[in-house]
Structure 1
């Protein structure tokens, strides 16, 4: 696993860059090591197989943020469906792509150690609904928006203006 370092005082853009570098380095080796097992799991549990993958990929990133004193503005509720430790389905959109190359974007609003909201980290997860397949690497981007309406507007603009399958 790649070591990921965060420290207080980082801008949301620097946090997004560090998150993106971690995901870029780690996603494929983990995907390849889990592919056979998750392909079999997909036959039984379908999309939940992606949750098993993200449960291994994302926690080191979120733990490193928290260890550096950053926090998430939304607490995990008892009725939340959560994958990867902090990816909440109520804080996501899935509208782009075809059934074999779909894209879901999660968001996490981040606070610093002084409890100031500093921005939002977006995590795009490409996936297939037909078989276990991640057609291209997950991507991470930081944005300044922190309200649900601002975040969802920005996600739509990023995905629709740049086009599906283009980097966020």
Structure 2
């Protein structure tokens, strides 16, 4: 599943915009591999969904992004947290009342071996809560912001849905409280 070019090639083409180069590399990798992973790992992913539900999407993203992690490591970049990001602070919303077309935004900040972070990669995952299905290619957003508050502010300006959605940990806490009542 190698992409057309290595991350190092993207970085050479855009030396002044590392986060943009990384985003372009990840987008290229996703474009070339997102459906192939679904086909190749179909039985494994369907089994994971049958046994655990939505965590199967995490399995999918791990399979899809593993080569990206290797390239980041070779380029001296470390995502924190690991791509696609911290599920607890991610935000999700949907287009359909039956939750068959959901969108979750998670992010990771990229740190070089030395120096300040180079930016943040936001991974947009489209998925279905009624069955295992990824209706369209995952998306990537590159941000120069690296602080949690700044990231949330920028994403809130980019998307009214993001702004209105709760962090997963808050949403889950509310759900647990509703069960007690």
TM-score (norm 2): 0.74
Contact 2:30 2:138 in 1 (8 A): yes
Q: Which fold has the larger relative contact order, with Cα–Cα distance below 8 Å and residues 6 or more apart in sequence?
A: 1
Structure (1 or 2) with the greater strand fraction: 1
How much has 1:41 moved relative to structure 2? 2.9
1:50 corresponds to: 57
Question: When the two structures are aligned, how many residues end up with a matched partner?
Answer: 152
Please give the per-residue CA displacement for 1:23-70, whole angstroms capped at 9, x wherever unaligned: 111101111222344224322211011122122111110221111111
Aligned partners of 1:62 and 1:86 also within 8 Å: no
Asked if the contact 2:84/2:106 (under 8 Å) is kept, the reply is no
CA distance 1:103–1:53, change in 2 (3 Å): same
RMSD: 2.2
What is residue 97 of structure 1 aligned with on the other side?
95
**Structure 1: 5+ residue runs without aligned partners?**
77-84, 162-168
**Cα separation, 2, equivalents of 1:43 and 1:159:** 32
* Superposed CA offset, 1:91-148 (max 9, x none): 4222343311111111111122332211101111111111000011101121111111
In structure 2, the partner of 1:142 is 142
- Which shifted more, 132-141 or 44-53? 44-53
Q: 1:68 aligns with which of 75, 80, 102?
A: 75
Q: Does 1:11 align with 2:9?
A: no
Unaligned runs of 5+ in 2: 162-181
Answer with 1 or 2: which has the greater Rg: 2
TM-score normalised by L of structure 1: 0.79
Question: Does the Cα contact within 8 Å between 2:110 and 2:117 map onto a contact in 1?
Answer: yes
Cα separation, 2, equivalents of 1:135 and 1:149:
30
Query: Structure 2 matches for 1:126-141, cutoff 5 A?
Result: 126-141=126-141
Q: Partner of 1:146: helix, strand, or coil?
A: coil
* Structure 2: distance between partners of 1:5 and 1:149: 32
Q: Which residue of 2 aligns with 1:156?
A: 156
Q: Distance in 1 between matches of 2:136 and 2:41?
A: 16
Q: Is the 8 A contact 2:19 2:144 kept in 1?
A: yes
